[in-house]
Structure 1
């Protein structure tokens, strides 16, 4: 059994659509760029990933609780957070192709090219210079750097570039019946601010003591000009964020702790260590004093999947200044001098992972093409090697044939398992084809009901990854399968 060559993003996109994981949004009207719908299997996989994240945060930590804040927020929220004035991407157009690009992504692509050519130091120097120019808001310098590096438009093949301009990514709309400027609000570009404005509500109502965290899963919206790479960069997406409130001066220790904790989570859900890495930011966001990405090796290269940021007291302090409402915590713990720490605005360490990016990483990693058999019987086998707890269906029950009571027996077994984990029943086509159907959507276990079942109440369990089969009593199925598909298996590995 041999692994086939690496698959392309096109393979992933095709499989996702054909087997009910992801569809282009509004496809009957030719779709809407960078917007996708999750199909019947995709929504199950995504929900399972969200459940694993949620439990890892709120169930494994006594000092982390969850909220669900509204998408619409008072517009001053985004003034305080810096999004109104500074939530921009540097854009550049090619005059010949009329195509628009993010200037930083063009330079990052050149740096990746240098690294692939064995000139890693040259690529690192380029990213450092780009970070310096962007931090100084020297957009003319960014354009000059693109020209100096002889970066050309992939469509026109020319370097006939416009000036670099900043483009704000927030969607705006009006609330109420009159479209006046005073009624302007925004679709939230991140979920973090819903946590910050509820800091005191949660702290006081939950009697939370620092350090403590607030977790949230929710939709966010960004008007991405260059949206690409399937569900990696979308205009409507879902974030899983946790803001961890801490005493000033302890942020770097907590930052390192959460870096390692989040990496352990990704390994626990089945992403291999060799496809994960930390990438320190070359240019820090306006709110951060330290930032790192956890990157996954997608078919299009290593890209950000999760960010861990030390946000200092930027958010709470700005909300305090603009709202005139104190965002402080009284810390009764004693310092090294035996005195209470007293009132302060907490610092924050943030972990923020895109649910859609995590879905894509999990799907890409699970997509497996192998050659099986020997001699004239060699053939390709495709299956999704998902962690059993994440698979859309945990088990499929398949009667060998539809006669002699086997179908009724199989249906009864399926019904008995449904209350414990997601179960499907299939009696169409030859059983080999039914195994293949389940492999293609990642079902870890198939139960075959045959004539022996009618005699001794045993069935055959087929294991997806190895295709090995074992005989098991029907009475043992819930416990045997239930143990392996439980989300606890992920939580235990964190």
Structure 2
């Protein structure tokens, strides 16, 4: 039996960043780190609902990579690595951002971000060609490392400090982003090491270990989820840009000459993944890099339209064989792969070579933020009839059931007549399979609202009829419809809706 409450949806709207930040804190998704000590800039903690949502997103990515692809396996590399790793990768000498200070406000900014924001302003005003010209010129100047030219471009574009409202800028200079520390019991004997600024190098230095132990043949991929650390000067927009963050990366090793094909394949695969997860196509776009690393063949970002504009969420890069070649040179250990397959042109085995790499790298925190922004929904509804009719705004998180922090909430209608005991019995029967909670406090309407605000897809109500015929009312978050069903069907019903299979089957 289905029972739909009266509802007229006049419109639905999305939240501003300020609303989403406030919601995230109030409902246990994200807290400012060490807030009782007034916090630490650009560092955040994930609360009870946030950690569940983030873990679900990570698990979904992990399974999509390693479970759906027979030729992708995973590792978990250490955060600390031998210092030569970062010399070989170029991070010691070249991992920096162009910074500029405003002499009046004493505030520091990333020069490229100032120019990108100006281009976004042009784009918003419909001046697409002007935006593209600005980004192309910025890319050219950064490629040739003409920092004086970058400063002049900022001046020519009449970009002002948002605080002082002046254009009194210093010269542009490079600022290294790596955190360093010491290893060793005695300070004098310590060696300088770094907190990794990316997770990719842990994959590269383990290339042959993984290839041999997992019995993989090129092409194959190595996936990893892990923390990385960057001393961001301009760290803002909530969890979008932080000093401690989490990456979900996959390095795909391919035969030289096939990298373009695999680059296009992973580019399309990753865009499709985000759409199936629930991010709409019109809020996603590809953005080709204006400035390429000297070793890169191609690079593109998948951008999502956050409340503060289109910003990078994931990068797909064709990295050639630069990383493995560098590690071979600095470690003096061969990083070659022997390919026994036959080259159709020569009729001989491909033999030894250093594979090329196609990388997919998505920020777990940025994906979390995009998911939260997309899910945040304010809906105008009409309830009741006649004189009792009223219009109000309903706020809820329209999360895909597979990633929702809590899959179902179980409510006894009242705290008597055996209903709490029956609700607990249902809770115990489901908790081994799903993240469920039992709630007895407040009126039933307030309990529904609470679960809507944290994105719970199902609320299960135990009432007097339950004690008579072993049926319950299941209330659906998005439609607010209510369905009566036997308790014995709950596990299969919920399991069908929250299974990752509902996402995987669309990939």
TM-score scaled by length of structure 1: 0.99
Alpha-carbon distance in 1 for matches of 2:35, 2:349: 61
The change in CA–CA distance for 1:345 and 1:182 in structure 2 (over 3 A counts) is: farther
- Could you say which residue in structure 2 is the equivalent of 1:167? 175
1:80 counterpart = 2:88:
yes
**Do 2:183 and 2:190's aligned partners in 1 also have CA atoms closer than 8 Å?**
no
Q: CA deviation at 1:182?
A: 6.0
- Could you say which residue in structure 2 is the equivalent of 1:434? 447
Q: CA deviation at 1:181?
A: 8.0
Out of 415, 418, 426, the position equivalent to 1:413 is 426
1:102 counterpart = 2:110:
yes
Alpha-carbon distance in 2 for matches of 1:6, 1:403: 40
**Secondary structure of the corresponding residue to residue 71 of structure 1:** coil
1:387 counterpart = 2:387:
no
Alpha-carbon distance in 2 for matches of 1:151, 1:222: 26
Q: CA deviation at 1:223?
A: 0.2
Q: Show CA shifts across 1:409-428 (max 9, x none).
A: 11101110101111100010
Alpha-carbon distance in 2 for matches of 1:79, 1:14: 42
- Could you say which residue in structure 2 is the equivalent of 1:444? 457
Alpha-carbon distance in 1 for matches of 2:13, 2:363: 28
Q: Show CA shifts across 1:77-97 (max 9, x none).
A: 000001001100000000011
Alpha-carbon distance in 2 for matches of 1:475, 1:197: 51
Aligned residues: CA RMSD: 1.0
Alpha-carbon distance in 2 for matches of 1:355, 1:470: 35
- Could you say which residue in structure 1 is the equivalent of 2:495? 482
1:165-204 equivalences under 5 Å are 165-180=173-188, 183-204=191-212
1:264 counterpart = 2:277:
no
Q: Show CA shifts across 1:52-97 (max 9, x none).
A: 0000000000000000000000000000001001100000000011
- Could you say which residue in structure 1 is the equivalent of 2:372? 363
Q: CA deviation at 1:7?
A: 1.9
1:221 counterpart = 2:229:
yes
Alpha-carbon distance in 2 for matches of 1:120, 1:189: 34
After the TM superposition, which parts of structure 1 deviate over 6 Å for at least 4 consecutive aligned residues? none
1:23 counterpart = 2:36:
no
**Do 1:174 and 1:180's aligned partners in 2 also have CA atoms closer than 8 Å?**
no
Q: Tell me: higher relative CO, structure 1 or 2? Use CA pairs within 8 A at least 6 residues apart.
A: 2
Q: CA deviation at 1:180?
A: 4.5
1:344-363 equivalences under 5 Å are 344-363=353-372
- Could you say which residue in structure 2 is the equivalent of 1:276? 284
Out of 417, 424, 433, the position equivalent to 2:437 is 424
**Do 1:263 and 1:294's aligned partners in 2 also have CA atoms closer than 8 Å?**
yes
Q: CA deviation at 1:4?
A: 4.1
**Do 1:52 and 1:491's aligned partners in 2 also have CA atoms closer than 8 Å?**
no
**Secondary structure of the corresponding residue to residue 425 of structure 2:** helix
- Could you say which residue in structure 2 is the equivalent of 1:143? 151
**Secondary structure of the corresponding residue to residue 315 of structure 2:** strand
Q: Gapped runs of 5+ residues in structure 1?
A: none
TM-score scaled by length of structure 2: 0.96
- Could you say which residue in structure 1 is the equivalent of 2:313? 305
- Could you say which residue in structure 1 is the equivalent of 2:4? none
Q: Show CA shifts across 1:439-463 (max 9, x none).
A: 0100000001111111110011000
- Could you say which residue in structure 1 is the equivalent of 2:6? none
- Could you say which residue in structure 1 is the equivalent of 2:390? 377
**Do 1:115 and 1:123's aligned partners in 2 also have CA atoms closer than 8 Å?**
yes
The change in CA–CA distance for 1:418 and 1:439 in structure 2 (over 3 A counts) is: same
Q: CA deviation at 1:339?
A: 0.9
Alpha-carbon distance in 1 for matches of 2:294, 2:80: 23
Out of 229, 233, 248, the position equivalent to 2:256 is 248
Q: Show CA shifts across 1:314-359 (max 9, x none).
A: 1000000111000000001111221111000000000000000000
- Could you say which residue in structure 2 is the equivalent of 1:459? 472
- Could you say which residue in structure 1 is the equivalent of 2:412? 399
1:153 counterpart = 2:161:
yes
